[in-house]
């Protein structure tokens, strides 16, 4: 049995793939995007203990050099996340695939399946393969929400039990991608082509940023030229909620202008995209 | 109750609202019916409530005419020929509605509108205009939130036009239900219903399989709030046990179950017997009303509705639970006791032979009453979890599934959703399908920022509440009830599903 660090589970989610789904967020992500809304999912806890004294409900304790989180005492005030200097969270549960399946059984009548997100869930591909196999046995579907850092091609077993991938393409310009996420985008673009040809591309997601009109347009142009009308494109409007100071300094504390955002949708459609939604 | 002088000088009432209140005042001067002094004592003490039905029942509380007869035969009394096109059909219905009595004086059941109108849809544009005007007429003339129309379970052109016009008009009246069965209702029609529900708080979803098993597939309708009743019949009367107050009188759970419940069940069934016998044997209604004479309704299709309210607080009191968040709805032992009480109550009620209930197994049928504004925070609607203590939505649905089977004449739960759900009605439909499979009878939802919102079982417009707050008269007679429930029972503050 394999295990993975779970940041949280949302029993009902209507924004993570088709229909109502249970969404599972795994901890840790190699990218450090400027606009990350959940920066506490980026790193694993290093047990420095900085968060322990600040917990108002005494749910955090330090024993044997490790931070322990008592879920039943926790009031989800997120003080620990706000104070953490390492972009991590002490509130991580190590769950087995059976633990996740047990959670799924509670909501099974109401959902079409699961979507695993993150962090970057492809940091745990073997876990996903085991989990998805069990989900399939329940006649439900499994989707991956990924930043494309890990190459899907290298995991044919996982692809066999995965019903689709929602892929973030954060930028198609390699240099801009490097600045934005701290990594280059070769694997992301490879994944985009591979998933499309393997018929596993459920959706491509593009975050439209303020102050980077040219980059927004380039990403849309390049993605549409590859995907055409073969997969849904979801344009996401930059919003400042949860974004850390580094990102706010570059992108600002206002959401992307609404008129500008609508223009991007029209642009994508004019280039030949089939199905574009904007949120 | 206000005096005649208070009624006629009240500037927040329309003429028609004053007229109805004056009529009720007059009715209540009558002393014909020999109500048991023990019953009156229990009513005074807040153990039983008669929902202000009036001293002398001169018509059943809820009437569900079989409007298909109007479509087929017209009406002799109303001097109407069978309609031949969409204009005549909507006009005939509008005329007939004016003559269907109820406890509120407005018709609480308008029929399965899509089935009634679909045969007349020839030109869709013309039909849209006719149905739009028809729905507008209903809102402005039958101005009471307990006026209720049904659609479904089949996907029809008329059904789609009704939904489209409902979305456009954004009215509180009529209340609306889609009789839903995933095997009979297309996903597309189901998702359209969910989409309209998120924007206008209607239609609610009724579990068609469940109701069909109890009443027969073609024989039931949803009237007033969410009351499942026989078409060509209805509900004679609806008093309610106030379980929260009865529990306070109990010295133990056993005392509650074995002494108090039987006592109050006896008093309430006796009260219902008395009223129903008078209605059937003495009042003119079942003898001379054209609805009876022309076969729109049949006496044997009526049933007495045995109501209850405040199960949550009853259970919490009996178990000595002070914190609602750790009680009924969030605590397995409390839920188990709740179900035990309802099963026992159902058994006690079933032992009583109800008069004139030929098609209802000669018994009264349970109804989870939605509460009235003055119940406040001490008594939650029917078997619902108190507002502010709702668990996650899937747990709330599972909880509902345990209780809904006991209440064929009505029970329902309401869920409030964040705006993003408007983008994904198919996701909401997934939840509703699951809820029906989990044994949920009736599912209502709305989005938090709508003008039209569901209070307990009926709809009001926030914009009308604001007018009433400014002491201006409003068209809808139920808005004042919504104002009370908002202020006294926090009825608009239910948990939001994100």
Contact A48, A86 (CB under 8 A): yes
Contacts of B195 (CB under 8 A, 6+ apart): B167, B422, B425
CB atoms within 10 A of CB A34: 20
CB atoms within 10 A of CB B333: 12
CA distance A78 to chain B (A): 18
CA distance B151 to B164: 13
CB atoms within 10 A of CB A249: 11
A128 plus A255 within the same structural domain? yes
A190 plus A274 within the same structural domain? yes
B72 plus B17 within the same structural domain? no
Report if residue A36 sits inside a domain: yes
Band the pLDDT of A91: cuts 50, 70, 90: very high
B193 plus B145 within the same structural domain? yes
Tell if the CB–CB gap between B434 and A109 is shorter than 8 Å: yes
Q: Which two tokens stand for residue B352?
A: 């009583």
Q: How confident is the model at residue B29, as a pLDDT?
A: 95
Report if residue B249 sits inside a domain: yes
A157 plus A187 within the same structural domain? yes
HSE at residue B229, side-chain half, CA atoms within 13 A, is 40
Q: How confident is the model at residue B358, as a pLDDT?
A: 96
Contacts of B460 (CB under 8 A, 6+ apart): B145, B172, B452, B453, B476, B478, B479, B481, B482
Q: Which helix (H) or strand (E) holds B232?
A: none
B37 plus B96 within the same structural domain? no
B241 plus B176 within the same structural domain? no
Q: How confident is the model at residue A223, as a pLDDT?
A: 97
B292 plus B186 within the same structural domain? no
pLDDT tens digit string along B238-275? 999 999 999 999 999 999 999 999 999 999 999 999 99
pLDDT tens digit string along B174-201? 999 999 999 999 999 999 999 999 999 9
A73 plus A104 within the same structural domain? no
B48 plus B134 within the same structural domain? no
Report if residue B468 sits inside a domain: no
- Residues of chain B neighbouring A109 (CB-CB closer than 8 A): 433-435, 437-438
Residue with tokens 């925070």: B377
Q: How confident is the model at residue A170, as a pLDDT?
A: 97
Q: How confident is the model at residue B320, as a pLDDT?
A: 97
Strand, coil or helix: A85: coil
- Residue of A13, A14, A239 to mutate when probing chain B, most B C-beta within 10 A: A14
Compare CB distances from B427 to A14, A109, A277 and report the shortest one's residue. A14
pLDDT tens digit string along A112-171? 999 999 899 999 999 999 999 999 999 999 999 999 999 999 999 999 999 999 999 999
Report if residue B475 sits inside a domain: no
ipTM: 0.80
Whether the per-residue pLDDT at B225 is higher than 80: the answer is: yes
B239 plus B256 within the same structural domain? yes
HSE at residue A3, side-chain half, CA atoms within 13 A, is 5
- Residues of chain A neighbouring B426 (CB-CB closer than 8 A): 18-19
Terminal-residue alpha carbon distance, chain A = 38
DSSP-assigned beta bridge partners for residue B63: B234
pLDDT tens digit string along B30-49? 999 999 999 999 999 999 99
A194 plus A111 within the same structural domain? yes
Contact B378, B312 (CB under 8 A): no
Tell if the CB–CB gap between A12 and B431 is shorter than 8 Å: yes
- Residue of A9, A10, A11, A12 to mutate when probing chain B, most B C-beta within 10 A: A12
Where is the domain boundary, A32, A66, A83? Answer: A83
Q: Is the peptide bond before B3 cis (omega within 30 degrees of 0)?
A: no
- Residue of A110, A236, A278 to mutate when probing chain B, most B C-beta within 10 A: A110
Report if residue A46 sits inside a domain: no
Whether the per-residue pLDDT at B374 is higher than 90: the answer is: no
CA distance A161 to A168: 21
Band the pLDDT of B473: cuts 50, 70, 90: confident
Strand, coil or helix: B114: helix
B323 touching A, CB under 8 A? no
Contacts of B84 (CB under 8 A, 6+ apart): none
Report if residue A256 sits inside a domain: yes
A182 plus A145 within the same structural domain? yes
Q: What are phi and psi of B494, to 5 degrees?
A: -70, 160
- Residues of chain A neighbouring B436 (CB-CB closer than 8 A): none
- Find, among B153, B160, B169, B254, the residue nearest to B208 by Cα: B153
Report if residue B124 sits inside a domain: yes
Strands B442-447 and B452-454: unpaired
Residue with tokens 């079942």: B286
User: Among A10-14, B223-227, B363-367, which stretch is predicted with the lowest mean pLDDT?
Assistant: A10-14
CA distance B477 to B418: 29
Strand, coil or helix: A24: strand
Q: How confident is the model at residue B146, as a pLDDT?
A: 95
- Rg (chain B; Cα; Å): 22
HSE at residue B365, side-chain half, CA atoms within 13 A, is 26
Q: How confident is the model at residue B91, as a pLDDT?
A: 98
| Pairwise pLDDT comparison (B13 vs A192), residue with the higher score | A192
CA distance B47 to B67: 38
Q: What is the value of pTM for the model shown?
A: 0.90
Q: How confident is the model at residue B124, as a pLDDT?
A: 97
- Residues of chain A neighbouring B433 (CB-CB closer than 8 A): 109-110
CA distance A121 to chain B (A): 23
Report if residue B337 sits inside a domain: yes
B126 plus B137 within the same structural domain? yes
Residue with tokens 């091609």: A153
Report if residue A47 sits inside a domain: no
HSE at residue B268, side-chain half, CA atoms within 13 A, is 31
A101 plus A229 within the same structural domain? yes
Where is the domain boundary, B383, B411, B439? Answer: B411
Band the pLDDT of A239: cuts 50, 70, 90: very high
Contact A181, A32 (CB under 8 A): yes
- Residue of A9, A13, A17, A20 to mutate when probing chain B, most B C-beta within 10 A: A20
- Residue of B182, B430, B432, B438 to mutate when probing chain A, most A C-beta within 10 A: B430
- Find, among A97, A197, A203, A202, the residue nearest to A153 by Cα: A197
Cα B431 versus chain centre, distance: 23
CA distance A10 to chain B (A): 10
DSSP-assigned beta bridge partners for residue A9: A24
Report if residue B141 sits inside a domain: yes
Q: How confident is the model at residue B404, as a pLDDT?
A: 98
A74 plus A197 within the same structural domain? no
pLDDT tens digit string along A70-82? 988 998 899 999 8
Q: Is the dihedral of CA B355, B359, B363, B367 positive or negative?
A: negative
- Residues of chain A neighbouring B195 (CB-CB closer than 8 A): none
Strands B365-368 and B496-497: unpaired
What total of structural domains would you count in chain A?
2
Band the pLDDT of A16: cuts 50, 70, 90: confident
Band the pLDDT of B489: cuts 50, 70, 90: confident
Average pLDDT over residues A4-16: 92
- Residues of chain B neighbouring A15 (CB-CB closer than 8 A): 420, 424
Residue with tokens 């709030």: B225
B430 touching A, CB under 8 A? yes
Band the pLDDT of B485: cuts 50, 70, 90: confident
Band the pLDDT of B496: cuts 50, 70, 90: confident
Q: Domain limits at B325?
A: 31-60+227-411
Contacts of B254 (CB under 8 A, 6+ apart): none
B22 plus B93 within the same structural domain? no
- CATH code of B283's domain: 3.20.70.20
Contact B394, A110 (CB under 8 A): yes
Report if residue B437 sits inside a domain: no
Q: Domain limits at A125?
A: 3-41+92-278
Q: Which helix (H) or strand (E) holds B207?
A: strand B204-207
Whether the per-residue pLDDT at B1 is higher than 90: the answer is: no
B435 touching A, CB under 8 A? yes
3-state SS of chain B: helix, strand, coil percent to 5?
50, 15, 40
Contact B481, B372 (CB under 8 A): yes
Contacts of B332 (CB under 8 A, 6+ apart): none
Report if residue B421 sits inside a domain: no
- Range list of β-strands (E), chain A: 3-13, 21-26, 60-63, 66-69, 93-96, 113-117, 141-146, 164-168, 201-208, 232-237, 276-278
Q: Which helix (H) or strand (E) holds A268?
A: helix A258-270
Tell if the CB–CB gap between A110 and B423 is shorter than 8 Å: no
B367 plus B237 within the same structural domain? yes
B424 touching A, CB under 8 A? yes
A225 plus A266 within the same structural domain? yes
CA distance B81 to B98: 17
Q: How confident is the model at residue B141, as a pLDDT?
A: 95
**Residues of A at the B interface, defined by Cβ within 8 angstroms:** 11-12, 14-15, 18-21, 106-107, 109-112, 277, 279
Share of chain B above pLDDT 70, in %: 100
A177 plus A213 within the same structural domain? yes
B13 plus B56 within the same structural domain? no
CA distance B233 to B229: 7
Contact B229, B235 (CB under 8 A): yes
- Find, among B403, B412, B454, the residue nearest to B432 by Cα: B412
A124 plus A252 within the same structural domain? yes
pLDDT tens digit string along B127-174? 999 999 999 999 999 999 999 999 999 999 999 999 999 999 999 999
Tell if the CB–CB gap between A18 and B426 is shorter than 8 Å: yes
B73 plus B166 within the same structural domain? yes
Average pLDDT over residues A82-89: 92
CA distance A26 to chain B (A): 20
What total of structural domains would you count in chain B?
3
Q: How confident is the model at residue B110, as a pLDDT?
A: 98
Q: How confident is the model at residue B498, as a pLDDT?
A: 79
Q: What are phi and psi of B445, to 5 degrees?
A: -150, 160
CA distance B303 to B132: 34
CA distance A140 to chain B (A): 13
């Amino acid at each position: 049995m394999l295990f993975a660090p779970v940041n949280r589970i949302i029993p009902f989610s209507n924004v993570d793939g088709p229909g109502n789904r249970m969404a599972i967020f795994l901890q840790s992500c190699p990218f450090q995007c400027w606009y990350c809304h959940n920066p506490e999912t980026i790193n694993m806890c290093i047990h420095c203990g900085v968060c322990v004294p600040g917990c108002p409900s005494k749910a955090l304790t330090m024993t044997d050099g490790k931070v322990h989180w008592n879920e039943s005492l926790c009031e989800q005030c997120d003080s620990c996340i706000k104070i953490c200097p390492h972009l991590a969270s002490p509130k991580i549960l190590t769950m087995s695939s059976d633990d996740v399946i047990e959670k799924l059984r509670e909501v099974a009548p109401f959902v079409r399946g699961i979507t695993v997100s993150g962090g970057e869930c492809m940091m745990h591909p073997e876990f996903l393969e085991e989990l998805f196999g069990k989900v399939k046995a329940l006649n439900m579907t499994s989707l991956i929400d990924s930043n494309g850092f890990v190459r899907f091609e290298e995991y044919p077993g996982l692809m066999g039990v995965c019903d689709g991938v929602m892929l973030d393409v954060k930028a198609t310009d390699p240099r801009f991608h490097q600045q934005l996420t701290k990594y280059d985008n070769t694997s992301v673009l490879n994944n985009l082509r591979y998933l499309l040809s393997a018929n596993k591309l459920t959706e491509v997601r593009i975050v439209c940023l303020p102050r980077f009109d040219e980059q927004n347009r380039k990403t849309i142009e390049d993605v549409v030229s590859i995907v055409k009308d073969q997969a849904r494109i979801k344009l996401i409007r930059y919003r400042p909620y949860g974004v850390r100071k580094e990102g706010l300094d570059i992108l600002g504390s206002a959401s992307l202008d609404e008129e500008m955002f609508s223009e991007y949708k029209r642009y994508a459609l004019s280039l030949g995209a089939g199905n574009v939604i904007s949120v | 109750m206000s005096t005649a002088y208070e009624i006629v000088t009240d500037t927040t009432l329309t003429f028609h609202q004053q007229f109805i209140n004056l009529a009720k005042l007059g009715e209540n001067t009558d002393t014909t019916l020999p109500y048991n002094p023990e019953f009156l004592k229990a009513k005074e003490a807040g153990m039983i409530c008669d929902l202000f039905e009036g001293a002398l029942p001169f018509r059943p509380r809820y009437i569900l005419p079989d409007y298909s007869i109007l479509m087929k035969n017209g009406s002799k009394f109303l001097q109407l020929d069978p309609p031949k096109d969409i204009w005549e059909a909507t006009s005939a219905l509008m005329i007939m509605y004016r003559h269907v009595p109820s406890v509120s004086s407005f018709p609480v059941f308008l029929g399965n509108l899509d089935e009634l109108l679909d045969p007349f849809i020839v030109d869709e544009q013309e039909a849209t205009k006719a149905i739009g005007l028809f729905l507008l007429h209903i809102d402005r003339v039958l101005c009471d939130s307990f006026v209720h129309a049904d659609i479904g379970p089949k996907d029809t052109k008329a059904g789609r036009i009704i939904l489209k016009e409902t979305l456009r008009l954004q009215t509180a009246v009529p209340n609306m239900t889609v009789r839903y069965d995933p095997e009979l209702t297309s996903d597309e029609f189901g998702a359209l219903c969910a989409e309209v529900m998120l924007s206008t708080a209607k239609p609610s979803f009724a579990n068609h399989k469940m109701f069909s098993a109890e009443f027969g597939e073609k024989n039931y309708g949803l009237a007033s709030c969410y009351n499942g009743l026989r078409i060509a019949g209805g509900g004679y009367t609806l008093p309610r046990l106030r379980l929260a107050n009865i529990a306070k009188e109990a010295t133990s759970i056993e005392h509650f179950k074995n002494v108090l419940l039987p006592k109050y069940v006896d008093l309430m069934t006796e009260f219902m017997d008395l009223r129903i016998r008078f209605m059937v044997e003495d009042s003119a209604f079942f003898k001379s009303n054209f609805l009876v004479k022309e076969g729109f309704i049949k006496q044997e299709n009526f049933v007495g509705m045995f109501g209850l309210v405040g199960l949550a607080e009853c259970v919490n009191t009996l178990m000595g639970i002070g914190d609602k968040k750790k009680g009924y709805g969030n605590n397995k032992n409390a839920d188990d006791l709740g179900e035990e009480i309802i099963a026992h109550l159902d058994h006690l009620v079933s032992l009583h032979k109800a008069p004139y209930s030929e098609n209802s197994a000669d018994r009264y049928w349970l109804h989870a009453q939605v509460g009235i504004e003055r119940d406040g925070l001490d008594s939650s609607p029917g078997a619902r979890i108190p507002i502010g203590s709702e668990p996650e939505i899937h747990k709330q649905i599972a909880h509902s599934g345990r209780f809904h089977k006991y209440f064929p004449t009505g029970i329902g739960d309401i869920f409030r959703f964040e705006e993003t759900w408007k983008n994904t009605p198919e996701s909401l439909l997934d939840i509703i399908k699951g809820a029906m499979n989990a044994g949920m009878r009736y599912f209502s939802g709305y989005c938090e920022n709508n003008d039209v919102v569901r209070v307990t079982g009926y709809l009001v417009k926030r914009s009308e509440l604001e007018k009433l707050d400014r002491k201006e008269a409003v068209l809808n007679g139920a808005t004042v009830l919504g104002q009370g429930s908002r202020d006294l029972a926090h009825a608009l503050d239910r948990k939001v599903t994100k």
